[in-house]
Amino acid sequence: MWVKLLSAFVLLGLVLGIGFIVQDNDRERTDAAGPGTGSAEQPARTAGGIVMYETKPDSGSSLVIHAASATEGRDRVVVLEEFRLEQSNGLKLTGDRARYDSDRALLDIIGPVRVNTADGWQADLNGLTWDRKTKKASTDRPLVVKGAQGTITADRGEFFDDFNRILLAGDVHANLSPHLLHH
């Protein structure tokens, strides 16, 4: 999965590269102020209406990333606005804003996040850090996990194995179906 996400960001880089070339040509015609007038604040590349597809050749699994916009800074950090990541295994992640540091392989989702798993669980939280090197995602803020079997709330959580395993900590409360406990 992590290789898929990395490949998707490489694809994003290519798309942003094309946008940068077009944008750079416009800057040459309109930038009469000369060098040093805020060029450090300018993004290296930006593009809108992004859809990226990635398929892993050995397993055939795929990843699709949709984003209203993507901006890559000169520091190789990509900012995604209004994004949705979908994997062929059923995992879906949606949020308003995310930052991906390609050098550190770290995805920081800022603000509300919704995680939907293939088996019907939904986690709603505010802020998520996904370290692709360690293959672990976590939040240190309250979250609510809902499914057909009940609802669980906690102060913080860690996600493992494509969000198939979760470790909840802090003030954990569960309202679960009695049938879940008898399986």
The domain limits of the chain are 2-34+43-181
Domain 2-34+43-181 sits in CATH at 2.60.450.10
* pLDDT given at position 9: 52
* pLDDT given at position 22: 42
Per the CB < 8 A criterion, the answer to whether 82 and 50 are in contact is no
* pLDDT given at position 180: 65
pLDDT less than 70: residues of the chain: 1-43, 180-183
Alpha helix segments (H runs only) across 31-136: none
Is beta strand 156-160 parallel, antiparallel or unpaired with respect to 150-154? unpaired
pLDDT in tens, 32-84: 333 444 445 566 788 889 887 878 777 777 878 899 999 988 888 989 999 99
Please spell the DSSP secondary structure of 26-61, one letter per residue. Answer: HHHHH--S-TTSSGGGS-SEEEEEEEEEEE-TTT--
Say which residue the tokens 């913080």 belong to: 156
